[in-house]
């Protein structure tokens, strides 16, 4: 089946689930991080830059911060996508962070895929700032102030992330009215635990959208449709 046909199918199914859904900005991690001796990124921070999906990518950024400069950043398999954003050496308070403008948009919701290794960070909180990062508030995920990140691969893991298979159990979704119509919104996925140095965490398909919150499967298809359309151009 051609990429064009796949895109059309994805759009049809996704729109049937949520006719008003539109991606404001999203990151599907389209480019592999540097590899090889001396080339793997390390340090306190790393950024993948602006979003590659959506109608408002200008000024957006997806990055990570780690207390330990020994943190390394890699791009292993995503959740049904070629790459994800992965890092190790997690300390309490370390985070992934997405910055975007939602100016002119309402009914904002956030979706993301997240996983970890066996010794990676398992407990996170979602924080949000609308004043440039001066103040953050906790956003409840699934009705709770913190959320659990499931393991991918290895003993006890419910599934393994794959470049070809999307698994909805790794997807989180939350509607955030306070994120509507903001010049800048910062979403911070903050670790609540410290892990072994080699313990890694991954994030993928971070997407800020507008409209009714679809089911996780429809969310994935919307992202796939947008990516396929971008590749055709």
Q: Where are the domains of the chain?
A: 1-19+215-233, 22-213
145-165 tens-digit pLDDT: 999 999 999 998 999 999 999
Residue 210 buriedness (CB in 10 A; 0-12 / 13-18 / 19+): buried
Which of the following CATH numbers is that of domain 22-213: 3.90.75, 2.60.120, 3.30.2310, 1.50.10? 2.60.120
Residue 185 buriedness (CB in 10 A; 0-12 / 13-18 / 19+): buried
Confidence bin at 12 (pLDDT 50/70/90): very low
Q: Which residue has the higher pLDDT, 221 or 196?
A: 196
Distance CA(171)–CA(216), nearest Å, equals: 7
pLDDT given for residue 190 in this prediction: 98
Where is 109: in which H helix or E strand?
A: strand 108-116
CA distance between the termini of the chain: 18
Q: Give the distance, in angstroms, between the CA of residue 7 and the centroid of all CA atoms in the same chain.
A: 21
Sign of the CA dihedral running 225, 226, 230, 233? positive
pTM (predicted TM-score): 0.86
**Residue 53 near residue 179, CB atoms below 8 Å:** no
Distance CA(126)–CA(173), nearest Å, equals: 11
Sign of the CA dihedral running 6, 168, 187, 68? negative
Least confident of 19-33, 63-77, 80-94: 19-33
Partnered with residue 213 across adjacent β-strands are none
**Residue 205 near residue 113, CB atoms below 8 Å:** yes
Distance CA(14)–CA(41), nearest Å, equals: 36
**Residue 71 near residue 89, CB atoms below 8 Å:** yes
Confidence bin at 115 (pLDDT 50/70/90): very high
Distance CA(108)–CA(194), nearest Å, equals: 31
CA distances from residue 105 to 8, 24, 112 in whole angstroms, order as listed: 25, 8, 19
Confidence bin at 223 (pLDDT 50/70/90): low
């Amino acid at each position: 089946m051609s990429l064009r046909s796949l895109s059309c199918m994805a759009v049809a199914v996704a729109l049937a689930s949520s006719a008003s859904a539109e991606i404001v900005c999203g990151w599907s991690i389209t480019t592999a991080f540097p590899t090889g001796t001396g080339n793997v990124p390390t340090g306190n921070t790393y950024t993948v830059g602006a979003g590659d999906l959506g109608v408002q990518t200008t000024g957006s950024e997806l990055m990570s911060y780690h207390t330990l400069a020994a943190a390394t950043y890699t791009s292993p398999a995503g959740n049904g996508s070629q790459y994800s954003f992965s890092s190790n050496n997690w300390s309490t308070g370390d985070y992934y962070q997405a910055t975007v403008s939602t100016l002119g948009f309402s009914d904002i919701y956030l979706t993301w895929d997240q996983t970890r290794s066996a010794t990676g960070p398992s407990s996170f909180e979602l924080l949000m700032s609308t004043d440039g990062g001066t103040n953050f508030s906790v956003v409840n995920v699934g009705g709770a102030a913190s959320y659990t990140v499931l393991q991918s691969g290895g003993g006890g893991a419910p599934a393994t992330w794959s470049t070809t298979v999307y698994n909805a159990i790794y997807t989180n979704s939350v509607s955030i009215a306070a994120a509507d119509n903001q010049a800048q919104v910062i979403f911070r996925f903050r670790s609540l635990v410290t892990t072994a140095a080699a313990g890694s965490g991954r994030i993928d398909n971070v997407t800020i959208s507008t409209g009714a919150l679809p089911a996780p499967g429809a969310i994935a298809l919307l992202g796939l449709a947008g990516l396929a359309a971008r590749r055709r151009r």
